[in-house]
A = this chain, B = another copy of it.
């Protein structure tokens, strides 16, 4: 029975639904860990619909990754802005948010990094790079407001802590990874702020 009787015929909503459902499945199984047929069955959509919206499996993957990158970034930005005006509190909020993520049952590492790790398509790697750019902007902003001597340097070091904590949590042990990284980040922040002659 094509087009279920009670369904709403709305391409944009369909597209959004596909992205949302595909995000979860592709994250859990891996980009190459599930075929388009099974993917469609899980999502509850026909292959023709999927290909009409995204053209290619790779097109779907890119749409999924872009959406996820934006969602995650906004989530972190909100955590920062909810933490008040103190840059130290803002930085701590980042790692607290990350720890929440690590502790979830569905945590499987950073989806963008996972994708870039094995999916050798330039467009996918570009999405990952842009994702890291966004993180870097956020962290550099905190470093700047904290009066760090070299905010760009500190921002980069904080980015390494964020990504390192995520990697360790995903592939080694998630217990306290966020807290431990947070402590290290605050130490770096203090040191960089103290060293600033203009602070």
Contacts and interface: CB of A to CB of B under 8 A. Distances in A.
A163 to B, nearest CB: 4
A168 B160 contact: yes
A196 interface: no
B165 A160 contact: yes
A30 B163 contact: no
Dominant secondary structure at the A interface: helix
A6 to B, nearest CB: 36
Interface in A167-184: 167-168, 171-172, 177, 180-181, 183-184
Given A165-B160, A168-B132, A191-B191, A114 B125 contact: no
Contacts of A160: 160-161, 164-165, 167-168, 177, 180-181, 184
Interface in A66-124: 109, 113-120
Q: Give the number of times this chain occurs in the complex, counting copies.
A: 2
Given A118-B117, A120-B30, A167 B168 contact: no
Nearest to A165: B160
A36 interface: no
A8 B197 CA distance: 68
Contact of A164 (B33, B115, B167, B191): B167
A29 to B, nearest CB: 7
A180 B180 CA distance: 19
A120 B180 contact: no
Interface in A129-144: 129, 132-133, 136
